[in-house]
Structure 1
Amino acid sequence: MVEIEKLSDVCKLLGDKMRLTILSLLKERELCVYEIVELMQTSQPNVSQHMRKLKDGGLVKEAKKGQWVFYSLNINDKPYLNELFEHLPSQKEKVDAISCEQLDCCD
């Protein structure tokens, strides 16, 4: 029963368009919170709220580098997500077009 509950929780997280888009962005590479804010065209508190839910759900992990927080996917222990991630539209062009240097953050 525990596995069904975990899977149900993951499905709830994936059911939100913003969170699914964030995961699609992170499929390309690790991103700092400000890169995600810029790519999603939303506020930092809004992104942080979604990132907290994704982290609590075990879908992303964070790494602090100085005062900056970087996020990356954490789905290696969830092989059932592999096919879903193969079907997510590529965000490579968007992610490649932005950087911390360009945003003047994370120095």
Structure 2
Amino acid sequence: MLKTEIEIDQAAIILKLLGDKTRLTMMKILTTQECCVCEFVEIFNMSQPSISQHLRKLKDIGLVKEDRRGQWIFYSINNNNKFYPFVQELLQQLPSQAHKIQGISCC
């Protein structure tokens, strides 16, 4: 597999964004399944505006994408993003977060 290099400035922006524990955990969860805001609200015990702000930051640089289904928006990792291979390597080093999503359902 051919690896593309990432500029230091770009890496610093991504690493700063993922330096937040909530966003990093969100990204790890999204490696296994898509989620909606209400699921993240329950997982992190945070307000909907706070969760939406975290997701907006990830979406603004293209790490996550959204899919609207009726009144719900589901978030998933954007594996077409040019920085995805860099982020993927980082996320592979982290432990599974599947236990956080088990038993949670909404939408």
Q: CA deviation at 1:33?
A: 0.7
Query: How many correspondences in the alignment?
Result: 100
Runs of 5+ consecutive residues of structure 1 not aligned to the other structure: 101-105
Matched, 1:59 2:59: no
Aligned to 1:103: none
Aligned to 2:97: 91
Q: 2:75 aligns with which of 71, 75, 79?
A: 71
Aligned to 1:49: 53
Q: CA RMSD in A?
A: 1.6
More helix by share: 1
Could you state the TM-score of these two structures normalised by the residue count of structure 1? 0.83
Stretch moving more, 84-93 or 42-51: 84-93
SS across alignment from 1:99: coil
Find the aligned partners of 1:35 and 1:97 in 2 and give their Cα distance.
10
Could you state the TM-score of these two structures normalised by the residue count of structure 2? 0.83
Alignment deviations for residues 61-98 of structure 1 (CA, whole Å, 9 cap, x no partner): 11111111110011443212222111112111222321
Runs of 5+ consecutive residues of structure 2 not aligned to the other structure: 1-5
Stretch moving more, 31-40 or 86-95: 86-95
Runs of 4+ in 1 over 4 A off after TM superposition: none
TM-aligned CA distance change 1:42 to 1:71, over 3 Å: same
State the percentage of identical aligned residues. Answer: 54
